[in-house]
A and B are shown apart, each in its own frame.
Chain A
Amino acid sequence: MIYNFDFGAVLAYWPLLLEGVWTTLRLTLFSTVFGILVGAFCAVVRTGGPAWARWIVSLYVEFIRNTPLLVQSYFLIFGIASMGIRLPILLGAVIALTVNIGAYTTEIVRAGIESIHRGQLEAATCLGLSSTQTYLHVIIRPALERVYPALSSQYVLLMLASSIVSSVGVEELFGISNRIQSETYRNFEIFVVLGVIYLLLAVLVRSGFALLGLAIFPRRRTLGTPL
């Protein structure tokens, strides 16, 4: 069996690949920002909200965590579109990814919130802090610091999982690669290149989270120990 490797044929498409990388990164960035907001909000509701709101949040979390991201994406992009609501494809993809990652973030942040000792709340209460102030300064901040490593991994996963939205027509890195593959028939080469690019992106996202962590958690920056 003789196979002539021709990476040149694949790498000639570098402007397209770069475009794919850029789309993947944008998808990841927006879903990360919105996902953390959604997740932190839902975690607060789930730990301290009224019973009906807790119930809604847990329904959301369980539904998302127990159905495939692929189905969720199809539903949000094609399902909703068939009802006459047409979203730009990239926006639809960001919404699908945000809804998905938001549920996982909720669970992670909730674990962080529940790890905060009751004594912390009592101390804040006795100092006269309102419950909003207590949540902001005494609960959420240390909770996020504690679960930050788990959150980082989850968001690297999000970047990798964003390849799924190629199947609804988003021309992100994986979608673009499929196109290159069908034009060059260089299956082996394109998926090696793709793997390397994803690996580099994962390192990039992970480093980004590490740097962000140093910026927003001064205790970790100073002591370098887990909270």
Chain B
Amino acid sequence: MSPIVELKDVHKSFGSLEVLKGVTFEVNKGEVAAIIGQSGSGKSTALRCMDRLETIQGGSMLICGHQLHDTDVDLKALRRDVGIVFQSYNLFPHLTVAQNIMLAPRMVKGMKQRDAREIADTVIAKVGLREKMDCYPEQLSGGQQQRVAIARSLAMEPKLMLFDEVTSALDPQLTGEVLRVMEQLAADGMTMILVTHEMAFARKVADRVIYMRDGKVHEMGSSDILRTPATPELAAFVSESAEH
């Protein structure tokens, strides 16, 4: 099986601060990969590079067939293939749930109102919020907003979904409802890469766990590495996370 995501020796600096110091890993189609690690280990930056929100300065990055280190990479095509969900939801506050979801299909794919609405109905059902279609974001809880954000990404029918600490702003109860939606997505065969602090979720859903430390992949493997870490650093990280 050929990988849908391929990072080779990726380097990225902000000014004189080197954040990614040679990151290499692959993710296959249909896999769920969890990137874990301390704050400042570069995991969110790595994820943001995958959607070209940040540009890389060294190495190569192949995402859904797009070479991101090329200067003439087709960003529009890349963003059709890749969906991303952020920690802070970033729903458009002046639009209803339905309008949030339909905006990109209409603007980017040029869909008619009716076709876009059909897609919106499908994806909102996937996140279980059919009755909220005409609400505005501020009328929803954080967990509901995040589920709408997931639906909004799904409406573009991406091949790869990126999740950047999507439950970090939520209390445990709301975290659960978002994780259940993600679990269902994984079960449906979506390729997913998530930066997360939810160890239990990573253990349960991830096919591949990538432990980043100091701008590099320190340890990588199946979710078994969370039970039996090979390096003392990951062992310490896992036991620290368990305390919280």
Contact = CB atoms under 8 A, between A and B. Distances in A.
Nearest to B136: A219
A203 B149 CA distance: 42
Contacts of A227: 93-94
Given A142-B94, A219-B94, A126 B83 contact: yes
B130 interface: no
Given A137-B107, A223-B136, A223-B139, A217 B53 contact: no
B79 A127 contact: yes
Contact of A128 (B79, B90, B91): B79
B103 to A, nearest CB: 6
Contact of B86 (A123, A129, A133, A223): A123
Interface string A134-150: 00011001100100000
B35 interface: no
Contacts of A129: 103-104, 107-108
Nearest to B108: A128
B80 A128 contact: yes
Interface residues of B, number: 28
A5 to B, nearest CB: 53
Contacts of A145: 94
Contacts of B205: none
B51 interface: yes
A133 B82 CA distance: 19
B90 A225 contact: no
Contact of B79 (A125, A217, A225): A125
A60 to B, nearest CB: 29
A222 interface: yes
B24 interface: no
Interface residues of A, number: 24
A122 B86 contact: yes
Given A141-B94, A142-B92, A126 B76 contact: no
Q: Tell me what chain A mostly uses at the interface: helix, strand, loop, or mixed.
A: helix
B238 to A, nearest CB: 31
Given A119-B90, A142-B93, A142-B94, A125 B53 contact: yes
Contacts of A223: 136, 138-139
Interface in B87-128: 88, 90-96, 103-104, 107-108
A220 B104 CA distance: 23
A126 B136 contact: no
Nearest to A222: B136
Given A119-B88, A122-B86, A128 B94 contact: no
A112 to B, nearest CB: 12
A47 interface: no
A120 interface: yes
B56 interface: no
Contacts of B88: 117, 119
Contacts of B138: 223, 225
A137 B103 CA distance: 9
A83 B97 CA distance: 57
A217 B136 contact: no
B93 A127 contact: no
Nearest to B139: A223
A123 B92 contact: yes
Contacts of A123: 86, 90-92, 149
* Shortest 8 CB-CB contacts between residues of A and residues of B: A123-B90, A127-B104, A128-B108, A128-B79, A119-B90, A142-B94, A126-B84, A133-B107
Interface of B: 51, 53, 76, 79-80, 82-84, 86, 88, 90-96, 103-104, 107-108, 136, 138-139, 149, 152-153, 156
